[in-house]
Amino acid sequence: MMAPLLGLSHVSKIFGATGPLGRRRVPAVSDVSFALQAEAPEIFTIVGQSGSGKTTLARMILGMEAPSEGSIRLAGNDIGHARGARARRLFMATVQPIFQNPFEAFNPLRQLDYYLFLTARRFGQARDQRQAQTSADVALRQVGLSLPEVAGRYPHELSGGQLQRAAIARALLAKPKLIVADEPVSMVDASLRMSIVNLFKTLRDELGISLIYITHDLATAYYISDRILIMHEGVVVESGDARTVLADPQHPYSRQLKDAVLVPDFAGTSVVHDTMEMSGTQRPL
Amino acid sequence: MMTAAALPSDKKCVASGQPATAVLQVKGLKAYYRTRHFGVEREVRAVDGVTFEVRSNEIYGLAGESSSGKSTLIKAIAAAMRPPLEIVGGTVAFAFVPGGKDLHQATSAEVAAIRWRKLSYIMQGSMSVLNPVRRVRRSFEDFAAPHLGGTGASFEARVREHFALVRLDPNVLDAYPHELSGGMRQRVTIALATICRPDFVIADEPTTALDVVVQKDVLGMIRNIQREMGSSLLLVTHDLGVHAYVTDRLAIMYAGRLVEEARTPQVFASPQHPYTRHLIASLPRIGDAAPRAGLAGAPPNLASPPSGCRFHPRCPLAGDRCRRETPSMTVFAPDHRVACFAVSGGTA
């Protein structure tokens, strides 16, 4: 049996905070286990509000943070053992990140193509500048852009949606097996958001890339996810098939999360606006 | 506990279509950023001919993506402009400005008398509103005491009375901002903005920085306060879910202009402008995984906007006329205005 693409077993992360009364232990992630299979690429969603530990979990999967307990294995190898430049480079060619704010992910003083060429040469197969240009163009076309549109331009010259696409293209240059996307569409405008979300589906279906999609937005989670993991204060409260879980959440927190979704539905109503008066979910202040 | 029963029902008179007086009238407002560096002039037409009114006792929503001019519009309405932003044309008239004067023509003393008492703001970052090194009580004294008058016990009583009205625990007054959660801080900011019972409140992305679970409660609080005070509220956010939840009427802004305005349920039930239609159709919903298309292209650069209708390069219905002429907001149905040639009857 082949080792899974990514396997987390009993992963915990405890941050220590030293105060005047000694050390305080802050558990950010507690005992999380799941596995992504290499032969079945999927969109695996981690949902939770801020402070739920979802970003800490992503940082651990990206090898930016070491777990306090448990192990994270990539194709059977513990990622904590990927020390040294060579092992790290190999790791980064397999796992690539996409961050929330593309304007913060790129240096504002550097032209965009610099990053694309750098990634192509370091993690991709490109050996010289010509090959780097070719592979950058291929990657940009996969996300609906092209090299002439991006070459020589600075991040501020592109819209948020275009820049996030460029960030995805940069991640694709490494030909990764897994992309970890932390809130990739929450900074993107409404009219462009769905095209990026649809792009993730294309990456899964056509390039066979698995995606860990981290979000607080249950509606897009329902739209693209295959499986879902709901986290609350570092603990997984519910997980399973995304449609099943979101259609009928069992854990009280998952239900609370679903109830908090503002549903823009007035189908059938014309002018009466009294659906507004449903304050039943209000908690005592 | 906030309950529906505790709400005064006077919003019904707005909903039933009786004529309500306009508290804010914006006519043909144009606000441009004009810069001149080294002899190169640049003009960004962030707000370009916007006309609408906000009636008494309603929540008027304004939706638009980033760089659609929402924030510039707020600055122009609140007369909080600094160069290079200039008002190039149009008027902004509040009913409570003496003599029906345009706020931009009012003297600074007149404006100072209006600020916070008549016109106040709820901002996105509650941390930058509240002074981080002073207790919440001090922030209230700093902001509200000059407007409300009264010192010591009488002011304290007034603040406590208001806290009771907005259902906030008065113990919060003794806390420092960092001791409060994000949702609680935003509630304090809302209390601060409404303590003078202003006639008009501008809320700029009031819940964008909050967690989903808290967002609904804070929006409920905004709605309850607005109903209790009977004032008008201009709520600006890009999040259509928020608009669906709290606003009475909704305007959609695209590239510096309004493209559609109607009662909020109407916007969601029968959007007319192609841009609005796309926005509504692309909203993902739990329980519906049907494919949703993204919109091709990107919002235009307002330093060199496209000719004619600014949406035409991305519009599926665009015709020759859309490239040449600018559609104006036309009444499509009662309380429903649309700026599109394909909708208002003419040929596109």
Q: What is the pLDDT of residues A176-205, one digit of tens each?
A: 999 999 988 887 777 778 888 888 999 999
pLDDT at B5 over 80: no
Answer whether A195 sits within 8 Å of B294, measured CB to CB: yes
Distances (CA, A) of B10 to A269, B7, B227, B245, B334: 21, 9, 8, 18, 21
Cα separation, B239 vs A132, in Å, equals: 39
Give the H or E element holding residue A235.
strand A235-241
Cα separation, B23 vs B137, in Å, equals: 31
B224-234 mean pLDDT: 90
Per the DSSP assignment, residues forming a β-bridge with B289 are: none
Given B168, B240, B264, which is nearest A285 (Cβ)?
B168
Residues of B within 8 A of A256 (CB-CB) are 213
Residues of B within 8 A of A190 (CB-CB) are 65, 238, 240, 279, 282
Given B15, B169, B284, which is nearest A220 (Cβ)?
B284
Tokens describing residue A122 = 């370091």
B262-272 mean pLDDT: 92
B62-85: burial string, b at 16+ Cβ within 10 Å, e else: bbbbebbbbbbbbbbbbbeeeeeb
- pLDDT (0 to 100) of residue A156: 86
Tokens describing residue B56 = 């008494």
Tokens describing residue A242 = 């995304």
Q: What is the third-level CATH fold of A103-177+188-208?
A: Rossmann fold (3.40.50)
Residues whose CB falls within 8 Å of the CB of residue A52, separated by 6 or more in sequence, listed in order: A231, A232, A233, A234
- Arithmetic mean of pLDDT over chain B: 84
Q: How far is A226 from chain B (nearest CA, A)?
A: 11
B41-61 mean pLDDT: 91
A239-260 mean pLDDT: 91
Place of tokens 């009786």: B18
- Which residue in chain A has the smallest CA separation from B170? A285
User: If contacts are CB pairs under 8 Å, which of residues 231-260 in chain B contact chain A?
Assistant: 238-246, 248
SS3 of B246, please?
helix
Q: Answer with the residue of higher pLDDT: B345 or B257.
A: B257
Confidence tier at A12 by pLDDT (50, 70, 90): very high
Region of poorest pLDDT, from B106-110, B225-229, B254-258: B106-110
- pLDDT (0 to 100) of residue A26: 83
On whether ipTM exceeds 0.85, the answer is no
User: If contacts are CB pairs under 8 Å, which of residues 125-164 in chain B contact chain A?
Assistant: none
Residues of A within 8 A of B286 (CB-CB) are 218-219, 222, 246-247, 258, 261, 263
- pLDDT (0 to 100) of residue B257: 92
Least Cα distance to B64 among B47, B79, B51, B49 occurs for B47
> How does DSSP classify residue B208?
T
| Phi-psi domain of A168 (left: phi exceeds 0; alpha: psi -120 through 50; beta: other) | alpha
Residues of A within 8 A of B289 (CB-CB) are 222-223, 243
Tokens describing residue B157 = 């009583």
The domains found in chain B, sorted by start residue, are 22-118+198-263 (3.40.50.300)
Task: Give me the phi and psi of B171, to 5 degrees please.
Answer: -60, -20
Tally C-beta pairs within 8 A across A and B: 163
Residues of A within 8 A of B216 (CB-CB) are 259-260, 262, 281
Answer whether A191 sits within 8 Å of B282, measured CB to CB: yes
How large is the angle between the packed helices A160-173 and A112-122, nearest 10 degrees?
Answer: 20
How large is the angle between the packed helices B136-148 and B152-165, nearest 10 degrees?
Answer: 110
Residues of B within 8 A of A267 (CB-CB) are 268-269
Where are the domains positioned within chain A? 103-177+188-208
Judged by a CB distance cut-off of 8 A, whether residue B15 touches chain A is yes
Interface residue of A157, A271, A281 to substitute, partner B, most B CBs within 10 Å = A271
Distances (CA, A) of A28 to A99, A101, B9, B21, B342: 20, 23, 46, 53, 54
Cα separation, B320 vs B326, in Å, equals: 11
Residues of A within 8 A of B285 (CB-CB) are 219, 222, 263-265
